[in-house]
Amino acid sequence: MQTREVVIAGYLRTAQSRARPKDPERDWFHALRADDLLCAVIPALLERAAFDSADLDDFLVGCALGVTENWTFGGRTPVFQANLDASVPARFLDQQCGSGMAAVHMGYLEIASGYADAVLACGMEQMTRVPMGPKLFQEGTISMNPALFREERYAHWDMDTTMVMGLTAEKLWKQGSITREEMDEFGVRSHRLATLAREEGFFDGEILPVDAPQADGSVLRVDRDQAVREGADLESMAGLKPIFDKENGGITAGNASPLNSGAAAMLLLSREEAERRGIKPLAAIRSIGFAGVDPTIMGAAPVPAARMALEKGGYKVEDMDFWEINEAFSVVVLHAMRELGLPAGRVNVKGGGLALGHAMGATGVRLVGTLARILQAENGRLGCAASCIGGGQGVAAIIEKI
C-alpha cells in the first residue's frame, strides 16, 4: 500500500494546572471539566488554521481516566460540545499516559493509508475532579478482576507494584546506577529550563489562555503552567522525603511529575491537503513506535518504542536533533538517555513534565506539538517524542521540520 505524507498543520493546548484532589480549590482549573478545557482549545485551533470542521474526516480524543465526567460517548460528546459538524465521526482512546500520542498515531495511520485527509487528534485530563488512585476503586467506578491480585497464576505480574507508578519508578531506579542526586538535579533542570522558556515567551505560541472561575468568585485568566517553580534549587530537592518507599526509596515530589489538568489538540493533514489550502505545516510525521515491557518497570518502555520508530523510519539515534521524553519521573528520562546514548543538551530543552506537568491524556499531544515548535525555534530538522505508559507500555513518534 502506498503511504502518503502526514503533516502537523496546527497545535494548541491549555496551560496545565496543578491538580490537588485533597485540596481542590488550589487547582486553577478545579471548576472546569476536562471536556470544558478541550472544547475551548478545539474551536480556537480550527479558527487559527481557517479550517471548517465539516472537512474533518475523524476526531480522536485520548484520556487516561475515561470514567465519570470524562466519559465521552465514544468520543462523540466533545464533538457536540465544540459544535463541530454532525458529519464528523469520533473515537475515544485509552492508552493511559500514551492516550494523546495514540490519537496522533491513529490519525497518522489513517491519513498515511489514504482513509482520511484531515484528522483532529486530541487529549485531555482533569486530575482534581477525576483523581487517579484508590478512590475510583473504592467507589466502584473502576473494577479490576481481583484474581489478578489474588491468584498464584498471576503472581508474576506483581500487580501491587504494577498499579502504583511510583513503585515502578522505584524499581527501575534500584535496578540501575542512577543516583538520587542525579534524579534531583534533573528535577531542578526541568524547572529552570521551563522558567527560562516561559520568560522568553516560548510557550505563548502553544498555550490558549482560559478564563477559569476561582473559589473566591473571581475569574483567573490561566495562561501559564501552574506547577513550574521559579528558583528551584538542589538543596530544596535534596530535602524532600521519598514518597513510595519511605525507608529505602529515591522517588520524591521533586523528581516525579505532579498531578495536572489540561487539554491539547493537533490538526493532522495530508501534505496534499495542506498545500491545497495554503497551510504551512509545523512538521511532518516520519515514523511511529510502540512497545511493551515488564509492567513493574514501565519507565523503561520509551527506549524500545523509540528504537522501533528509529528502525521503521530508517534513522539512527544521532540523526535526531532534539528529544522530548516525558518526565513522568526523572529516572525515566535518565534511563532512556543512558540506554540510547543521548546528550543532555538535546533532551527536553524547554523543561518537561516535572515542571510543566503531566496531564496524562493530553501529554502525548503536548510532547509531539512542543517538539515540533522546538524544531522551528532551535533550527532543528528531526526530533523524537516518547513516553512511558502505566501498565508497561511505551509510545514514540519521529517528526521532521518542513
Under a CB-based contact definition with an 8 Å cutoff, are residues 328 and 97 in contact?
Answer: yes
How far is residue 178's CA from residue 164's CA, in Å, rounded to a whole number?
21
| Residues with Cβ within 8 Å of residue 112, at least 6 apart in sequence | 3, 4, 5, 6
| Sign of the torsion angle spanned by Cα atoms 199, 346, 305, 259 | negative
Q: Which residues on adjacent β-strands are paired with residue 90?
A: 59
Q: Which residue has the cell 454532525?
A: 86
Catalytic residue among 105, 191, 335, 358: 358
Q: Please indicate whether residue 97 is annotated as part of the active site.
A: yes
What are the residues facing 347 on neighbouring strands? 323
Instruction: Give the Cα separation of 3 and 201 in Å (integer).
Output: 37
Cell numbers representing residue 153 in the block: 497464576
Distance CA 60, CA 119 (A): 8
Give the span between the Cα atoms of 15 and 263, in whole angstroms: 8
State how far the alpha carbon of 197 is from the alpha carbons of 88, 135, 233, 260, 339, in Å: 36, 36, 17, 19, 27
* Burial tier of 80 (Cβ tally within 10 Å: 0-12, 13-18, 19+): middle
DSSP run (H or E) holding 193: helix 180-199
358 classed as catalytic:
yes
Residue 316 cell numbers, joined: 539512527
Parallel, antiparallel or unpaired: strands 322-325 and 382-389: parallel
- Identify the active-site residue in 63, 122, 384, 388: 388
In the chain, DSSP finds a helix count (H) and a strand count (E) of 14, 12
Residues 97, 122, 335, 384: which is the catalytic one?
97
Rounded to the nearest 10 degrees, the angle between the axes of helix 330-340 and helix 165-175 is 40
Yes or no: say if 22 and 218 are a contact pair by the CB < 8 Å rule.
no
What is the Cα 130 distance to its own chain's centre? 17
For the annotated catalytic residues, the residue numbers are 97, 358, 388
